[in-house]
Structure 1
Amino acid sequence: MADYDLIVIGSGPGGYVAAIRASQLGMKTAIVERESLGGICLNWGCIPTKALLRSAEVLHYANNAKDFGLKIDKADFDLEAVVKRSRGVAKQLSSGVSHLMKKNKIDVIMGEASLKKGKPAPTVSVKEKDGKSKEYKAKNVILATGARARAIPQAGLEPDGDLIWTYREAMVPKETPKKLLVIGSGAIGIEFASFYNELGSDVTVVEAVDRILPVEDEEISGLARKQFEKQGIKFHTGAQVKSLKKSNGKVTADISSGDKTEKLEVDRVILAIGIVGNVEGLGLEELGVKVEKTHVLVDGFGRTGVDGLYAIGDLTGAPWLAHKASHEGVMCVEGIAGAEDAHAFDAWNVPGCTYSHPQIASVGLTEAKAKEAGHKIKVGKFPFIGNGKAIALGAAEGLVKTVFDAETGELLGAHMIGAEVTELIQGYVIAREGELTEETLMHTVFPHPTLSEMMHESVLASQGRVLHM
């Protein structure tokens, strides 16, 4: 007889949400965690980085107080206090997950899990902190073990916790590096570049492809680069760091671009060159689980092909986003439970957000991808400079861009750069989920004065009906 209806391995946003939904559906549920409840996102990712970026944002406004008619003597920061606040926010939310586990009567098992062949699902063996192992039986098991920062040891591109950092070390610095190299210009790299630049570091970013933020719409990427460069961040695109060499507390990077190679000496390096799934030590090979490029292959319900075994979140591949993992977890559990409205997960409408200064947010197809897919398109754009609320906020640089199918009126994609766009993007996500057309959006009343009015104007612009430009 099984100990549980469901055991979830990993308590990040995918794992703990899956466990809660399972409990709601009447399943006897346990969750296994080897480190801290909440996983990487709550403890070392999404949440604490946003706390750091908020401190940087407040510092930015303090240093530019005169633009708002205010007088503030030279603003400065206490790095130890900034980090302490960030860690406090993470601790508060991790404690919140613990409360949710108790509230939903979910057993928390602390230790490192591995799997053995078993019926009706693999047996879960948990090695606890005292070194002893205990086995648990369940009708179903969900893997939600997440991922970690990618390293390239042969080129010296591997973290050492001292001079070469991953996101973990970058979030708890003891001092601000005078010169910083960020390798990779995805959301993680750009957020750290933005944070340290605001704190006074001389920041250089290297990106292998020909533009920064490569998953974003090309026009948005270009605008982002201009704004970041205006703030003092330097970029090498279409370039690679061939090697890192450490000496006398410094790191020298060999940066190659075409036939040109240059050396750059910095105090610290942040690796943001992607992630790899946490698949090791779980016993997946023995079970016959298919793993491709460190990610477990699953269908829309998280099924691995092994009876009773499922996988969700970063472990299963892109997009590597917390909200994707949470939603995937719910879909997986509802499929296990045979819920009436259970349906396969599809990443077609997952929004992406970058919490830099300025913010970037998007959902759906870029203009280029829409054309590649064979759509005849209409594109609408509206700049922040045409919006009263943006001007009043002192945040008049930015753009809202919408891409529609010219024949059906379907909203194919939306792309934004500017103040608070990470909050605005959900409006377009709902529009796409509800299959709203440009006509419905044009007939929708948006409140004034708000930044959201630009969303309306961008739709109007796609039809040649823009009002305020």
Structure 2
Amino acid sequence: MKKPILLIALLALFVAGFVILRDHSIDLESVRNQVGTLQDWRQSNALLLFALFFLAYVTVTALSLPVAVWMTLGAGALFGFWQGLLLASFASAIGASLAFLAARYLLRDWVRAKLGGRAAAIDAGLKRDGAFYLFTLRLIPVVPFFAINLLMGLSPMPVLTFHLVSQAGMLAGAAVYVNAGTQLAQLDSLSGIVSPTLLLSFAILGVFPWIARMFVNILKRRKVYAGWNRPASYDRNLIVIGAGAAGLVCSYIAAATKAKVTLVESHRMGGDCLNYGCVPSKALIKSAKLADQMRHADHYGLRPVTPQIPFAKVMERVHRVIEDIAPHDSVERYTELGVEVLQGHARIVDPWTVEIAMSDGGTQRLTTRAMVIATGAEPFVPPLPGIGDVGYLTSDTLWEALRDREEAPRRLLILGGGPIGCELAQSLARLGSQVTQVEMAPRLMMREDEEVSALVRASLEDDGVKVLTDHKAVACGTDEGEKWIEVAHEGQAHRIAFDDIIVAVGRKPRLTGFGLEELGIKAERVVETNDYLETLFPNILAAGDVAGPYQFTHTAGHQAWFASVNALFGWFKRFKVDYRVIPWATFTDPEVARVGPSETEAREKGIAFEVTRYGIDDLDRAITDGSAHGFVKVLTRPGKDRILGVTIVGEHAGDLIAEFVLAMKHGLGLNKILGTIHIYPTLAEANKYAAGEWRRTHVNPRLLALLEKIHDWRRK
């Protein structure tokens, strides 16, 4: 209750000040008269007048009343330049700090609640550069100082920092006006003080810190490169290490802008997504889904059949799909685009030199203006005792290992309950494997809401997967030729026999063997980069899984644009990578797609939100297709249609999420989606109906009551 009372009191003081000022015209003549009156009184009360004037100056500054300029002129006229500057400098800084503290106490919590998750990012930026921006703004008197006081009060900046930086930044402006005040009798108008020349001088003064900062950055760069011999000229504009999603996009952009670019790949073009991840797994999922539909053909009025599954043929199709897509990422295609493609292992020798151990046994050294590390990631295998003795598979190796088998693995154990583990568990169970899935966490897909995890688990269990959550793998081994894994649950341990095991507990970036350690580039969990994807050396950048924080093909391509543009044109203009709207999907059946925070994440981060939910079981097209399950869940600002996050569970969720991604990217709310025509009957109508559910709960009941009365009146 204290905050509203204090806010009302401050507003009352502000209004009272404006009323008083309105009744007393303030111009040069009135200031001269007041100064003349006070000069006589000052002869016998100099110290008291200084104290009262100081207090008055602090008050008008704290209340953001528009008389600070006149007070500064008065300080110069009454006390002379040095005493007037002392008074104006300290009084203005103290008043500004009081306004700063008032804004922090009264408004900061409310504004942070409105900003939600964005508040943390803003705080981080102001914590890093806030003092610099404050000093720059204080040097430019065109920017309203009262606005700076209030806005900075909402930031995490310490009050002492704010006070000292403000006092230093306002000193030049205060000196100009105090000096003008010493010549008050000769002034005809303020235009003599605030002349275009003076404003231009202040603007140049305001730009000076940026120039100084640029100079400091140049010195830092020189220090980073000290001890390295820069080549007199360069063989390439850009060298890209790794031909996965990020590397291919970087190379394409470089070639499209007519740069001389070399792409180095030590294994297969297309990287993990084409050869081991997205492409083969989705081909497998499609075959498995068709087999499941055959078993449940009675859902469509047909006679169900038990599918005959020649597993080798299924795997043959998987590899054929890879071969059909491979030309898109081939050496030939990129060579035609203007990219030099070298097959070999690249190692960075110095900030401008890459040594390539060619696949044919030779070695080649190339110098380059810039380079991008896009080496991707590989499956993480936990240090589980005995895991190496049982012949484990991963999402990378299973495609070749299972290629020629006539049947799917009979007893298959999948270690891991994330997206990869869930997709493989369901698909291989539908193709004939007896699948046991072991996850040490309390539930599957821990990044999603509990209801999503429960729905996915129920679907997997319907397909015959034995799901063991809260089970920790302890050891692996063989006993009389039979493979087993020991798991612990609630203090009890037991063994599970299996024929094959797939380890799917996550992926780790490929960091070793590329010369990063020798150059001092930090690479612990990922390659450490700044907001521009630059490493310790600004001309060496990283993109994709190796850079984090996401391990998706589409985010690798997204980062690649920023990495390549900054690498090639950073000398002119750099771009911070944008992670504001990142979608992803897990291609289980039903699919799970999300963009923005989940309900659980929003609650943990203290983001204010409300939930709108539409059940896909009510959607006409889903009913006709026999896929009437799942939901669309939208998080919005309380009382607003602005979208914070969306989770979709259902058929083609990965496709349906795109409309919400577009809306969030361009600031469109649910009302815009509701007002967009969606073809009937389609699954995309689910998005419109979700928007309609939000609209229905936000209709003004008083307005509806009024409309009812109007309609009643019109019938009479």
Short-chain TM bin: over 0.9
Contact 1:194 1:356 in 2 (8 A): yes
Distance in 1 separating the partners of 2:527 and 2:578: 16
Tell me, yes or no, if structure 1 residue 55 matches structure 2 residue 287. Answer: yes
Cα deviation, residue 410, structure 1? 2.3
Moved more, 312-321 or 240-249: 240-249
Residues 404-415 of structure 1: matches in 2 within 5 Å? 404-415=636-647
Tell me, yes or no, if structure 1 residue 234 matches structure 2 residue 466. Answer: yes
- Asked which structure has the greater CA Rg, the reply is 2
Match of 1:142 in 2: 372
Query: Which one has the bigger strand percentage?
Result: 1
Q: TM-score, normalised by structure 2?
A: 0.62
Residues 356-375 of structure 1: matches in 2 within 5 Å? 356-375=588-607
> Which of 370, 373, 396 is 2:628 aligned to?
396
Tell me, yes or no, if structure 1 residue 256 matches structure 2 residue 484. Answer: no
Tell me the percent identity: 29
Alignment CA distance shift 1:30-1:222 (3 Å): same
Distance in 2 separating the partners of 1:157 and 1:389: 47
**What SS does structure 1 have at the residue aligned with 2:282?**
helix
Distance in 1 separating the partners of 2:374 and 2:648: 31
Distance in 2 separating the partners of 1:345 and 1:243: 42
Contact 1:378 1:463 in 2 (8 A): no
> Which of 418, 421, 425 is 2:657 aligned to?
425
Residues 29-428 of structure 1: matches in 2 within 5 Å? 29-71=261-303, 73-98=305-330, 99-117=332-350, 121-158=351-388, 163-172=391-400, 173=402, 174=405, 175-293=407-525, 295-338=526-569, 343-428=575-660
Cα deviation, residue 460, structure 1? 2.6
- Matched letter for residue 316 of structure 1: A
Alignment CA distance shift 1:341-1:322 (3 Å): farther
Cα deviation, residue 215, structure 1? 1.2
Cα deviation, residue 3, structure 1? 1.5
Alignment CA distance shift 1:409-1:156 (3 Å): farther
Q: What value does the CA root-mean-square deviation take over the aligned residues?
A: 2.1
**What SS does structure 1 have at the residue aligned with 2:545?**
helix
**What SS does structure 1 have at the residue aligned with 2:397?**
helix
Alignment CA distance shift 1:30-1:201 (3 Å): same
Alignment CA distance shift 1:450-1:443 (3 Å): same
Moved more, 410-419 or 439-448: 439-448
Contact 1:380 1:460 in 2 (8 A): no
CA offsets 1:37-59 (integer angstroms, 9 cap, x no match): 10111111111111111111111
**What SS does structure 1 have at the residue aligned with 2:372?**
strand
- Matched letter for residue 638 of structure 2: A
**What SS does structure 2 have at the residue aligned with 1:115?**
strand
Where does the alignment leave 5 or more consecutive residues of structure 1 unmatched?
A: none
- Matched letter for residue 670 of structure 2: E
Distance in 2 separating the partners of 1:323 and 1:31: 20
Distance in 2 separating the partners of 1:431 and 1:336: 30
Count of residue pairs brought into register by the alignment: 461
Distance in 1 separating the partners of 2:399 and 2:645: 33
Cα deviation, residue 386, structure 1? 0.2
Distance in 2 separating the partners of 1:180 and 1:166: 13
Cα deviation, residue 72, structure 1? 6.2
Contact 2:534 2:540 in 1 (8 A): yes
Tell me, yes or no, if structure 1 residue 2 matches structure 2 residue 230. Answer: no
**What SS does structure 1 have at the residue aligned with 2:580?**
helix
Distance in 1 separating the partners of 2:394 and 2:282: 16
**What SS does structure 2 have at the residue aligned with 1:189?**
helix
CA offsets 1:185-237 (integer angstroms, 9 cap, x no match): 11111110011110121212122221111112222112111222222212222
Distance in 2 separating the partners of 1:129 and 1:201: 39
CA offsets 1:300-329 (integer angstroms, 9 cap, x no match): 321012141111111012321111101100
- Matched letter for residue 107 of structure 1: E
Where does the alignment leave 5 or more consecutive residues of structure 2 unmatched?
A: 1-232, 699-716
Query: Which one has the bigger helix percentage?
Result: 2
